[in-house]
């Protein structure tokens, strides 16, 4: 029996996160500023219905079976060519027309208390959106400490090799979801290279140094400083360096809002991170009637590289039956 989409709350007394089983979507995430004032720092809607209507540009959801773009919606695996829906012409994007973000997941476990958590499960069948093989997907959100949230994603292919690449697509605005554009945020990204893209936003296969370019965030820099030099804005995969590590995770990014002093440090075990500045957000009416315009939030989507299934020199995203895809993200909030 299919469950109904509804919203669940994780609350540890310091931070409050609301998540729906529709697309495993974070609809609201409230953390304190330097004065202890809570604000909701993610773009989204007040009701589940708005997500179900499909009007959101992937606000807050988990995308899959394969996040990001696959060139021309085609790939070959074990001698078989697979064709995927072209939902972002000329490419297939974020799992197709009805990816994991548009499915109702089963709530497998829901715990309250000091370290509240919720576990969602989804079974994706062979041939769904063109992908090979049955896979079992699990995603668990946990508040691991007063101002830290962990997301553990796991996918097990049951009978065929398949590409798998999940991403968490939350749009962040640390000044508050309704506070305008994120140009004054500063960001540091632990990456000295990006994977440059062609005119259809497909990586060329090159790994390119960011040093001395508008893509350089190796030191903390304002998001808006060079954004006009990169077309519509940032929408690029950063090759995460093996820098600082902590319990198997590497540091990916540090985002800060000077006006609120809120800071987000993101840690991950994924090889890449799509840094996306909400370039296609266009007058979306969100929570409390807030109007989200271009650059109203930014995404830090840790991931396998875009189109990796067709790029031999990129880390493989193909997972074999009997092995497991595991992707962890740690969101650490603070003020400074």
Please report, for the chain, the start and end positions of each structural domain, with discontinuous segments joined by +. Answer: 7-187+249-335
Return the CA Rg of the chain.
19
The half-sphere exposure of 325 on its side-chain side, counting CA atoms within 13 A, is 31
How far, in Å, are 68, 108, 145 from residue 154 at the CA level?
18, 14, 22
Residue 102 in 3-state DSSP? helix
How far, in Å, are 70, 75, 99, 180, 313 from residue 308 at the CA level?
8, 10, 18, 34, 8
- Per the DSSP assignment, residues forming a β-bridge with 104 are 22
Which CATH number applies to 7-187+249-335: 2.70.98.10, 3.90.470.20, 3.40.50.2000, 3.20.20.70?
2.70.98.10
169 is in an annotated binding site: yes
- Helices and strands, number each (H, E), in the chain: 1, 30
Active-site option among 169, 177, 295, 327: 169
185 is catalytic: no
User: Is a pLDDT exceeding 50 seen at residue 136?
Assistant: yes
- Return the H-helix or E-strand segment holding 49: helix 48-52
246 is in an annotated binding site: no
**pLDDT at position 1:** 43
185 is in an annotated binding site: no
Active-site option among 128, 129, 301, 332: 301
pLDDT in tens, 171-217: 999 999 999 999 999 999 999 999 999 999 999 999 999 999 999 99
pLDDT in tens, 246-279: 889 999 999 999 999 999 999 999 999 999 999 9
213 is in an annotated binding site: no
Confidence of residue 80 (pLDDT cuts 50, 70, 90): very high
295 is in an annotated binding site: no
123 is catalytic: no
Q: How many CB atoms lie within 10 A of CB 125?
A: 11
């Amino acid at each position: 029996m299919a469950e109904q989409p509804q919203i669940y709350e994780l609350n540890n007394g310091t931070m409050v996160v609301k998540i729906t089983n529709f697309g495993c979507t974070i609809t609201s995430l409230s953390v304190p500023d330097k004065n202890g004032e809570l604000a909701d720092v993610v773009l989204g809607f007040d009701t589940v219905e708005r997500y179900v209507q499909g009007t959101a540009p992937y606000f807050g959801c988990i995308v899959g079976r394969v996040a990001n773009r696959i060139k021309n919606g085609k790939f070959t695996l074990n001698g078989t060519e697979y064709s995927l829906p072209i939902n972002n012409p000329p490419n297939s994007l974020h799992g197709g027309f009805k990816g994991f973000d548009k499915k109702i997941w089963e709530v497998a476990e829901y715990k309250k208390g000091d370290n509240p958590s919720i576990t969602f499960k989804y079974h994706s069948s062979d041939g769904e959106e063109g992908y090979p093989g049955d896979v079992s997907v699990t995603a668990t959100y946990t508040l691991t400490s007063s101002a830290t949230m962990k997301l553990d994603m796991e996918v097990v292919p049951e009978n065929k090799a398949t590409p798998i690449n999940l991403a968490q697509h939350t749009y962040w605005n640390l000044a508050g979801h309704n506070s305008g554009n994120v140009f004054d945020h500063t960001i540091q990204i632990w990456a000295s290279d990006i994977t440059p893209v062609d005119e259809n936003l497909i990586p060329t296969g090159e790994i390119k140094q960011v040093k001395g370019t508008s893509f350089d965030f190796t030191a903390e820099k304002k998001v808006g400083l060079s954004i006009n030099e990169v077309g519509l804005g940032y929408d690029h995969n950063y090759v995460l360096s093996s820098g600082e590590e902590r319990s198997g995770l590497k540091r990916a990014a540090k985002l800060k809002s000077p006006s609120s002093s809120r800071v987000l440090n993101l840690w991950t075990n994924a090889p890449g991170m799509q840094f996306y500045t909400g370039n296609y957000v266009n007058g979306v009416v969100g929570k409390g009637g807030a109007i989200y315009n271009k650059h109203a939030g930014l995404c830090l989507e840790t991931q396998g590289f875009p189109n990796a299934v067709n790029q031999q020199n990129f880390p493989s995203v193909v997972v074999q039956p009997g092995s497991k895809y595991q992707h962890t993200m740690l969101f650490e909030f603070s003020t400074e």
